[in-house]
Structure 1
């Protein structure tokens, strides 16, 4: 009789283990392929592309201006790059005359809006900008910027960039 009870217990435990294994597999598959997971991956993609694009647009070295401008072009939509490049030779001349190097580092970045359906996003970023003039010490300042991103056939590109509005703080 004792042998029969042990066999029943083993069968019951095996069934419970099999049910748990199936439930775990289905749960994992569902989570791995869920809409939330796809949206989370999209959000990460937009954050990464946006942070890099804003960093690229705040970085420019007069010693290799063409490389910097190509990076600007690769980071922006055609419409934004056209706006940036419209000043043409005057802009190039001012950068070359100033002989300065600007470098940017993104301190923080967050998405404020994301519409995957239409391929638009808005980000707010904290940028640490360092400008090194031809003579003198580097100057570092903090910027708060708002970036608009648009999904293109080449991926997410910067379509607008501006200063974030100042918030009223206690003084």
Structure 2
């Protein structure tokens, strides 16, 4: 009986091993991508990030106003709001213009940090807390700098998230 000797080409073996590894990696990558695209947590995280970005911008807009560009600033306020808050701004605009023109102030806000405090993506409601540094400059005297925390309620509209309520966050020691 003759013994047949087989020799294996190392390049063929390496090519087969690499092909199998590449196919496995492609399958795993495809599955991971599919799984991530259909993950509710990813969609929720995206909604949270959208609400936070819109909330921070809206709170910054509401704390920034230049008497020299008053109409533009108030238009920004109105574009950032919805619901009762929007209605109050529109109805009080004329009186507010007189106050700011008389005071000749410039306020600028910078967002220091922000967080979503609640999110109901299905209902289209969210809450945010935003820490700000607001600088108010009057025609005379040094600019006044104040840091504050604002609580905002957001409502999702056809144009995106908008402020529907805004107020100061409580400050103080609540430890008993």
Structure 1 residues not aligned, in runs of 5+: none
Aligned residue number for residue 31 of structure 1: 36
Q: Deviations over 1:105-130 (max 9, x none)?
A: 11000001011000000001101000
For residues 129 and 156 of structure 2, the distance between their equivalents in structure 1, rounded to whole angstroms, comes to 17
Aligned residue number for residue 53 of structure 2: 48
For residues 102 and 85 of structure 1, the distance between their equivalents in structure 2, rounded to whole angstroms, comes to 20
Of 100, 121, 124, 2:105 maps to 100
Q: Deviations over 1:67-97 (max 9, x none)?
A: 1111111000042121133334322211110
Structure 2 residues not aligned, in runs of 5+: none
For residues 169 and 100 of structure 2, the distance between their equivalents in structure 1, rounded to whole angstroms, comes to 25
Of 66, 76, 81, 2:71 maps to 66
Provide the aligned length of Structure 1 versus Structure 2: 170
Aligned residue number for residue 27 of structure 2: 22
Structure whose alpha-carbon radius of gyration is higher: 2
* 1:128-147 to 2 correspondences below 5 Å: 128-147=133-152
Please give the TM-score of this superposition, normalised by the length of structure 1.
0.88
Contact 2:106 2:137 in 1 (8 A): yes
Following superposition, the deviation at residue 21 of structure 1 comes to: 2.2
Aligned residue number for residue 163 of structure 1: 168
Q: Flag the 1:31–1:2 CA change in 2: closer, same or farther, 3 A.
A: farther
Q: 2:127 is paired with a residue of what secondary structure?
A: strand
Aligned residue number for residue 3 of structure 1: 7
For residues 56 and 9 of structure 1, the distance between their equivalents in structure 2, rounded to whole angstroms, comes to 61
Please give the TM-score of this superposition, normalised by the length of structure 2.
0.86
For residues 130 and 9 of structure 1, the distance between their equivalents in structure 2, rounded to whole angstroms, comes to 67
* 1:75-154 to 2 correspondences below 5 Å: 75-154=80-159
Following superposition, the deviation at residue 155 of structure 1 comes to: 0.8
